Structure 1
Amino acid sequence: MARLTDTVAVVTGGGRGIGREIALQQAREGAKVAVLARTATEIEETVSLIQGGGGRAIAVTTDVAEYSAVESAFARIASELGPVETLVNNHGSFQAFGPVWECDPLVWWRDVEINLRGTFHTSRAATPTMLARGKGRIVNLVSGGTGNSFPHGSGYASSKAAIMRLTECLNDTTIAHNVRAFAVDPGLVRSAMTEMQLFSEAGKTYLPGIQQLFDDGVDIDPSRAALLITDIAAGRFDVLAGRLLRGVDDRDGLEKDMESLVAADGRALRFTAIEQQKL
């Protein structure tokens, strides 16, 4: 039997790229999938691909930055598919390029609003039912800007670092009820977002290193993150709840290292033990 049979998964930003691959992989493992995004044609295409493979899915057009829209979306999902067991927050915005003093404040804030507020909204909508049922997993996608400075992508990086902290806070408040939260960095994947970084004037001016990374062959297939997230949904990495997992990880090796990572308090957004002692 497929590992996710009789479960319901929600994948935001599921109309293309990484999100579409995540939705397809969840369906291949038997999950019924709700595909969310703002662009109806894209998520309908993802649903069509799932249905063509014999799976069950629905397309739900939603702006995750609007909580009333998210509430309505989750009510529809519960009605048509059943209670959500896996939530994958893959939505993302990266429009504000450049140093802080040159970024349009509204564009900068919109990146934060979609990325961080959207993740809060969907998590808030999903957790009550998960807690009531005593099971659930939430996967929040982060990025390389989570743990490193990203001077010309400050809005995006700040939001992703905040999502990492939100993941830890959420997990710490739900794990006693068998509801777990995880962060996943899919790696550098060629997507609509990276295409804009590569070919827009602002991207070429402020983010030239992206092109160099692709030239150097740093291009992660989205299937790696999708397979990792399917393993998470199936419970393989429950020991690492509240921590960061990466698309580039060797999943078998990661499973072997889980206990040592936890013992070292690795893959977390925290001060070192020595720094903690000084506080």
Structure 2
Amino acid sequence: MADLQGTLAVVTGGGRGIGREIALHQARAGATVAVLARSAPQIEETVALIEGEGGKARAYPVDLVDRSAVEAGFAAIVSELGPIDCMINNHGSFRAFGPIWECDPDEWWGDVEINLRGCFHTCRVVAPAMLERGRGRIVNLVGGGTGTSFPHGSGYAASKAGIMRFTECLNDTTVPGGVLAFAVDPGLVRTAMTEMQLDTEAGRTFLPGIQQLFEDKINVPPSKAAALIADIARGRFDRLAGRMLRGPEDRDALEREIDAIIADDGRALRITGLD
């Protein structure tokens, strides 16, 4: 498989955690990386790490909920770095914990807006240009609650399930034009977001299972999802476009299972038993 030399990847939420690791993996594979987040110092640090390894990157502070800011930011990326080959939506927010009547409504809606609306804004901007070129890949990160109930994380779960369905709809719309969309679940990774769940009273009260999982040493390295996404960018899993791939899984085993996944119509949101 070819490396990513000469391609441009955009990584949102690239200032820390999983996003930083994704950006580093893209650069190590040869891609130039545009690193996006609201915090300029954090994304500048990611860029410095990439450049320190001999890679190419540039920081773009953008609030993904602000449509005008997204449009201006992506116009700058294309003007300064060229056409986008791989769009990776890693940004995420999970601040509203608990039964819905105990959640702050603005925090609950903020999780949905950042996660889902932010993803919509970036895809809306990049997809037409990719279609015009006849190629491109979009990777949207999902997570807890995508395919199962998450009672005390309803805003986060609703947004991630929404991103999964959005990814399916997007892929079905763009795949005839050569643009493929994928969903990736990185697994439980110890990040600043999960640390907040561990360190706040609401998190300890309503999400005690997170602490238990970490105590049980369920802690997926962010490099797992980053390596998977690098393989997606290379085209290794093109046949699974529109479906969910998981960071913790063995990529060689996943490749061997592609035919079975497609035959079973797996890794997608489906409602069964309605015949």
**Fold equivalence (TM over 0.5):** yes
Partner residue in 2 for 1:270: 270
SS of structure 2 residue aligned to 1:148: coil
Whether the 8 Å CA contact 1:2–1:30 is kept in 2: the answer is no
Partners of 2:77 and 2:3 lie apart in 1 by: 21
The alpha carbon displacement at 1:80 in A equals: 1.1
1:150 corresponds to: 150
* Residue 30 (structure 2) pairs with residue 30 (structure 1): yes
Counterpart in the other structure of 1:70: 70
Name the CA distance, whole Å, in 2 between partners of 1:37 and 1:2: 29
Identity of aligned residues (%): 69
1:204-215 paired onto structure 2 within 5 Å: 204-215=204-215
Structure 2: distance between partners of 1:30 and 1:240: 23
Equivalent residues of 1:96, 1:107 under 8 A apart = yes
Would you say the 8 A contact 1:244–1:267 is kept in 2? yes
Determine helix, strand or coil for the equivalent of 1:271. coil
Distance, in Å, in 2 between the alignment partners of 1:174 and 1:16 is 30
CA distance in 2, matches of 1:156, 1:95: 8
- CA distance in 1 between counterparts of 2:144 and 2:64 reads 22
Matches within 5 A, 1:99-248: 99-248=99-248
**Separation of aligned partners in 2, 1:66 and 1:102:** 27
Amino acid at match of 2:33: V
Q: Secondary structure in 1 aligned to 2:4?
A: coil
- Is 37-46 or 140-149 further displaced after alignment? 140-149
8 Å contact from structure 2 (residues 2, 234) kept in 1:
no
> Residue 54 of structure 1 aligns to a residue in which SS?
coil
Aligned residue type for 1:233: A
For each residue in 1:32-55, what CA deviation from the matched residue of structure 2 results, as whole angstroms up to 9, or x when unmatched? 000000000000000001111111
Residue of structure 2 in register with 1:20 after alignment: 20
Q: Secondary structure at the match of 1:59?
A: strand
* Residues 15 and 39 in structure 1, CA contact (< 8 A), matched pair in contact too: yes
CA distance in structure 2 between the partners assigned to 1:112 and 1:74 by the alignment: 22
One-letter code aligned to 1:145: G
**Once superposed, what is the RMSD of the aligned Cα atoms?**
0.9
**Structure 2 CA distance for aligned equivalents of residues 169 and 210 of structure 1:** 31
Query: Is the 2:11–2:23 contact (alpha carbons within 8 Å) kept by the matching residues of 1?
Result: yes
Does the residue aligned with 2:181 lie in a helix, a strand or coil?
strand
Cα deviation, 1:124-167, whole Å, max 9, x if unaligned, reads 01101100000000000000210111111100000000000000
Residue 224 of structure 1 aligns with an amino acid whose one-letter code is: K
Q: Confirm or deny: 8 A CA contact 2:11 2:90 kept in the other structure.
A: yes
In the alignment, the residues of structure 2 paired with residue 21 and residue 217 of structure 1 have an alpha-carbon distance, to the nearest angstrom, of 20
Q: Distance in 2 between matches of 1:51 and 1:243?
A: 33
The question of 1:6 aligning with 2:1 is answered no
Give the conservation status (yes or no) of the 8 Å contact 2:243–2:268. Answer: yes
Are the counterparts in 2 of residues 95 and 111 from structure 1 also a CA contact under 8 Å? Answer: yes
Q: Deviations over 1:77-110 (max 9, x none)?
A: 1011110010000000001011011111111000
How many residues align? The count is: 275
Secondary structure at the residue paired with 2:91?
Answer: coil
Distance (whole Å) between structure 2 residues aligned to residue 33 and residue 257 of structure 1: 31
CA displacement 1:199-241 (0-9 Å, x = unmatched): 1111011101100000111000000000000000000000000
| CA apart distance, 1:249 | 1.1
Secondary structure in 2 aligned to 1:144? coil
Q: State the one-letter code of the partner of 1:218.
A: I
Q: Could you give the per-residue CA deviations for residues 243-270 of structure 1, whole angstroms, max 9, x where no partner exists?
A: 0000111000000101110110000001
Aligned to 2:250: 250
Contact 1:139-1:183 at 8 Å conserved across structures: yes
3-state DSSP of counterpart to 1:14:
coil
Deviation at 1:2, TM superposition (A): 6.2
In 1, the alpha carbon distance for the partners of 2:225 and 2:51 equals: 22
